Structure formats: structure tokens, C-alpha cells
A and B are shown apart, each in its own frame.
Chain A
Amino acid sequence: MDLKLREDIPIFQQITETIESGILEGLYQVDDRVPSSNEFAKYYQINPATAAKGINQLVEQEILFKKRGIGMFVGNNARTIILSKRKDRFYTDYIIPLQNEAMKLGITSEELSKLIQKGDVHEN
């Protein structure tokens, strides 16, 4: 989880990603309460409307649900929804920058896939 703000993507998006990562990492389980927009505003020192925008997006995507007057909670299918969202973005967020850097360094695509497999071995 990233607890510091970055300059390259909108702040509300960083709030959604922080909550999503918290759910993927198991910090928040189904029906757990996540921090409120005011709590995020206070932590990051940002406008509460910005934090609310991030949280509302997760409500729209049914990752969170709202209990009026109590707070925001993790939805039943949160994990599945986040995973499919993240997989969709994996190519643009990770593969393309990886290929760009490899190209700059003169690493061929065969070498690149070997390197990726090498990573696999380390994992196992």
C-alpha cells in the first residue's frame, strides 16, 4: 500500500488504489469498515471532496457499499472486481513501460522473456 501521495496521477485515484490494495492485501475483509473521506482528508491533508470522490467511485463499482450514518464497508465481490480491474490495466501499466525500458537498453524480446522466467524461478 502506498501511503504517500504522488504527483503523476490524480489524488482521488490514489485514494481508490490505496483502498483497493488494502483489500487485495487482506487488510480489509468483506464487511470491514474502511476509513471515511474525512479520515483520508486528515491523513493526507487533502480536501475532503477529493477523498470523497475516490471513495464514491468504489461505491459505484460495488467494491464498497455505504451504510448510512455509519460508514463505508467492503462489498461481497470486492476482491474479484478489483482483480479483474487490475488485470485489465496490467498491460498498459507494467508491460508497456517494461518494453520501453528494455528497448532503450537494447534487450531483445527473447532476452526479456528469459528474464521474466528467471524471476519465476526465484519466486519458486
Chain B
Amino acid sequence: MKIETKNLSKNFGDKKALNHINLTIEPNKIIGLLGRNGAGKTTLLQLLAGHFKPSEGEILINGENPFNRSHVLEKVCLISEANNFKRKLKIREILKMISRFYPNWSQPTAERLLKIFNLAPSLNAKGLSKGMESALSIIIGLSSRTDITIFDEPYIGMDAYARYRFYAILLEEYEAYPRTIIISTHLIDEVSNLFEDVVLMHDGSILLHESAEEMKNKSLQISGSLEKVTAFSEGKNVIYTTQIMGQKTVFIYGEKAIEEQQAKAMGLSVERCSIQELMVHLTNSQEEGLYV
């Protein structure tokens, strides 16, 4: 399902959580939604899941506003970090209840995942550890098989083993049943190879929306002698600089591949930046003066 926002804003009192966002997400891609705390990621996702109305503008799922429209919302599953199971229910009962919301629910997937994550259906959901609770949320997200499945920092308390299992199963599920999957996370390095597109948010706005590969292609990490690197980077979009022992490294964003050949010809060392490094430095560049 296609997702579109037009001039979308959301205010909470005086705080502008989202500021006139225009975004189009084509169907059946795995999207990484990145940004620092308070960037507006969760607000955007909650609007998508119809939790509240926009203050201004609109959000459309296949042309329809999700708020209060159950035939749209049954195709959107938002798994959020605060997805606590407070009521005294067994895992089996919770899954049964939730499965009624989602017409595409896959019970075999749910049962397989319960085994993989070592959760007995007879367990009481209230007494689960943080990690087990996260695993249960993830099981719900993957089994829902909704056209739009959203994971908002889903794995608080999950150990590295469980997280890697999650990534592997996510990929399997995506291949078996392609759908739009949006992952918002701070553990970017672990998961960035799964992203087809990246949406980077900052201060309630979209800083960039690009294919993950293009984003990496536009980045260069140039190292070499202070003089040469300074000469090379002049007039270019430098997002990060560091130096030691007469050597300098700069991160450059938005340049064409031809720059790479130039740098190599000057005997400079050329690498690409990881998505995580780009997120850190791109969302910092506005306030660079503070950190120098």
C-alpha cells in the first residue's frame, strides 16, 4: 500500500512534533526510519496507525486517511516500544484477541515464532521479562502480515542473539509475503543492510529520503595529510572533520563518484560512510559550531 503525507503537521501544545512533512513511500519496501530522539519518528508512525488526527495536512494510505477507518487500520500494524501487556492474560489469549483485528493473520507463523523465541503460549503476559515482552510484540508484528508493518524500537531488552533471529525471520517473512516494513531504530549498524530506503528525520522534518545504496554512494570518507585533505575538501559539503598527527579525515556528503577518482589520484584514502555514521553527522551538521 502506498503511503503519502501532504503538508503533514502535528503539534502537542506548543511543541511542533511534525512540521509540514511531504513524504511518499512506495509499497513493499523495507524502510529504515532514522533520526535522533525527539525527531518526530514515533509521532509520524502513530499518525500512520491512526492513533490521532494530524494538526494540519493529511496522511494517506492508498489515498485514504487511516484515522477511525477500520478497513484501513486492519492493514496497518504498529509495534511500539511501549507495547506493554498489562492485563492478566495468557499469551495464547492475547494472540487470539489480536488475530481478530488482522484478516491476514498467520497462526502458523505465530506458533513457529513462539517456539523460536522460547515463549510458552500458557505463560502469563504480565510477568514477562522485557526481552520476552519485546519478542511477543515482534511475533505479533510478523504474524499480522499487514500490508504495512511497523516496528518502532521494537527490541528493548532483547539480547543480540534474539535480535539477529528477528532480522533473519523478518527477511524470510518479507520474502514469503512482501509488504511494506518500516523499522525505526537506534541500532542502525545491525540492521541497515536490510533497508531498501532510508528516511532521515530531524526536528520534525524530513532531512532526506533516499535509497540506502544511493545514500552510501553519496558519501565519502577521505583521509590523508592535513594539507591534501584540506585542499581536496574545499567547497565540498563536509559533514564531519577530525584530525590527528598531521592526518585529517573528512566525511563528505552529496558528491558524485567522480570525486572518488580525484581523491584516489591525489593519493588519499577513500572509503564510504556507514548509514549510522551518516545519520549521526547529518543530524549534527546544523549545530556544528557547538561541537567544534
**Interface digits, B250-292 against A, CB 8 Å rule (1 contact, 0 not)?**
0000000000000010010011101000000000000000000
- Chain A residues whose CB sits within 8 angstroms of the CB of B193 once the complex forms: 5, 11, 44-47, 50
Nearest-Cβ distance from residue A13 to partner chain B, whole angstroms: 10
- Chain B residues whose CB sits within 8 angstroms of the CB of A38 once the complex forms: 175
- Chain A residues whose CB sits within 8 angstroms of the CB of B271 once the complex forms: 7-8
Stretch at the interface among B66-74, B112-120, B165-173: B165-173
For B172, B194, B274, the residue with the greatest tally of chain A CB atoms inside 10 Å of its CB is: B194
Q: Knowing that A8-B272, A45-B171, A50-B196 are A-B contacts, what are 8 other residue pairs whose CB atoms are under 8 Å apart, sorted by A's residue number? A: A9-B272, A11-B193, A12-B213, A41-B171, A42-B168, A42-B172, A47-B193, A47-B194
For B30, B196, B213, the residue with the greatest tally of chain A CB atoms inside 10 Å of its CB is: B213
Are B267 and A47 in contact, CB atoms less than 8 angstroms apart? no
Nearest-Cβ distance from residue A35 to partner chain B, whole angstroms: 14
* Main SS at interface, chain B: helix
Closest 3 CB pairs of A and B: A46-B193, A47-B196, A49-B196
In this complex, what residue of B is CB-closest to A38? B175
CA distance A103 to B267 in the complex (A): 10
Within 8 A of A (CB), among B113-172: 167-168, 171-172
A22 at the binding interface (Cβ < 8 Å): no
In this complex, what residue of A is CB-closest to B195? A47
Within 8 A of A (CB), among B8-50: 29-30
- Chain B residues whose CB sits within 8 angstroms of the CB of A45 once the complex forms: 167-168, 171, 193-194
Binding site for B on A (CB under 8 A): 5, 7-12, 38, 41-42, 44-50, 53, 96, 100, 103
B53 at the binding interface (Cβ < 8 Å): no
- Chain A residues whose CB sits within 8 angstroms of the CB of B216 once the complex forms: 10
- Chain B residues whose CB sits within 8 angstroms of the CB of A53 once the complex forms: 213
In this complex, what residue of B is CB-closest to A49? B196
CA distance A25 to B267 in the complex (A): 32
- Chain B residues whose CB sits within 8 angstroms of the CB of A47 once the complex forms: 30, 193-196, 212
- Chain A residues whose CB sits within 8 angstroms of the CB of B109 once the complex forms: none
Tell me how many residue pairs across A and B have CB atoms closer than 8 Å.
Answer: 48
CA distance A47 to B217 in the complex (A): 16
- Chain A residues whose CB sits within 8 angstroms of the CB of B232 once the complex forms: none
Nearest-Cβ distance from residue B203 to partner chain A, whole angstroms: 28
In this complex, what residue of A is CB-closest to B29? A49
Nearest-Cβ distance from residue B211 to partner chain A, whole angstroms: 9
CA distance A45 to B213 in the complex (A): 15
The residue from A9, A49, A96 contacting B264, defined by CB atoms under 8 A apart: A96
The residue from A5, A11, A42, A44 contacting B213, defined by CB atoms under 8 A apart: A11
CA distance A112 to B186 in the complex (A): 48
The residue from B29, B194, B272, B274 contacting A46, defined by CB atoms under 8 A apart: B194
In this complex, what residue of B is CB-closest to A36? B175
If A11-B193, A42-B172, A44-B193 touch, does A100 touch B267 (CB 8 Å cutoff)?
A: yes
In this complex, what residue of A is CB-closest to B216? A10
B174 at the binding interface (Cβ < 8 Å): yes
- Chain A residues whose CB sits within 8 angstroms of the CB of B167 once the complex forms: 45
Are B217 and A10 in contact, CB atoms less than 8 angstroms apart? yes
CA distance A42 to B168 in the complex (A): 7
- Chain B residues whose CB sits within 8 angstroms of the CB of A44 once the complex forms: 193
CA distance A9 to B217 in the complex (A): 9
Nearest-Cβ distance from residue A90 to partner chain B, whole angstroms: 15
- Chain B residues whose CB sits within 8 angstroms of the CB of A100 once the complex forms: 267
The residue from B171, B195, B270, B272 contacting A42, defined by CB atoms under 8 A apart: B171
Are A41 and B175 in contact, CB atoms less than 8 angstroms apart? yes
CA distance A76 to B264 in the complex (A): 36
If A7-B271, A45-B167 touch, does A50 touch B174 (CB 8 Å cutoff)?
A: no
In this complex, what residue of A is CB-closest to B30? A47
CA distance A48 to B29 in the complex (A): 10
In this complex, what residue of A is CB-closest to B172? A42
